[in-house]
Amino acid sequence: MTDFKKEARGRDCQIRIPGVCNFNPETTVLTHYRMSDTCGMGIKLDDRQAAWGCSACHDEVDHRTHHIDSDTARLYHAEGVMRTQAVLIEEGKF
């Protein structure tokens, strides 16, 4: 089984928020997408529902910084999840 957290190391950010992304693969981590009914108290987040995100994009989608509105951040994050999944599918890891 693929370790999605390890797969994120050294990868390009797939969230890519303009004006926020630092484009530094050394800071990339697995950034979970949070939706109601898929996370919360007693619910473990699924690593397949995540994007590779640089430290700056991760901070933005987790609301530690506020460069863009939260709905826009969620859209970039969702697109990042789809791009991440596409790469993993192409590599036969998803």
Question: Catalytic residue positions?
Answer: 32
d(CA 73, CA 68): 7
| Alpha carbon separation from 19 to 35, 49, 67, 73 (Å, rounded) | 25, 24, 8, 12
